[in-house]
Amino acid sequence: MTDEDEIHILSGVHPDTGAAICVLEWGPIGVALEPQLVLNTARDLHAAAAGAESDIAMIRVLQDMTRDNIQATATIVREVRAQRPITPGPSALRIEAVAGIATGLPYVHIGRGSMKGSMSPDEARDMALHWTETAVAAHNDARLRYVLGDFPQLSNDDKDGIFAGLRRTGGDQLPRRNK
């Protein structure tokens, strides 16, 4: 995927309901997602990464066994894929495990609306981790926003400033301050 096609997923709180949300931004796409949908997507990214890698391994073995009979290999790969379990629950992205027969490399293809991209299985796993962390952060954001409501001395701007500060820190690598 190029920088122009970069996907951003951010944690947040629905302004009207206070519920945890995740905001997906990808090209012209901007949508609020429920954290469970984001977790389903992470699960599907992991499954596609594993599927693409196992497909490549299976293709290599089958090509040796069938003396490079591409039709026989393709038929067996299709049959094995058809036997894979279907995971329950919707996903925020179209996700497909792809075995590049010409390149011999596994890929994970993703899409939503008009946007699409391709990545390595390791990149898909990294993306899944980030999506999982974002879903958890969204729940934490909602809880923190709720608790901050118990402090009437904090204005909405103060609360927004707290969340802006949390986002600026970038997560778990915080610099230590010497006192």
Q: How many CB atoms lie within 10 A of CB 153?
A: 5
pLDDT of 97 strictly over 80 = yes
Q: Which of 114, 109, 126, 136 is nearest to 39 (CA)?
A: 136
pLDDT digits (tens, 9 = 90+) for 154-177: 998 998 888 888 777 765 443 434
* Number of separate domains in the chain: 1
- Mean pLDDT over 93-104 rounds to 88
Residues in the chain: 179
Q: How far apart are CA 125 and CA 122, in angstroms?
A: 5
Question: Does residue 178 lie within any of the structural domains?
Answer: no
| Cβ–Cβ under 8 Å, residues 56 and 38 | no
pLDDT digits (tens, 9 = 90+) for 51-71: 999 999 998 888 888 876 788
Give residue 132's domain range.
Answer: 3-169
Q: Which of 132, 95, 90, 91 is nearest to 110 (CA)?
A: 95
Whole-structure pTM value: 0.83
Question: Does residue 61 lie within any of the structural domains?
Answer: yes
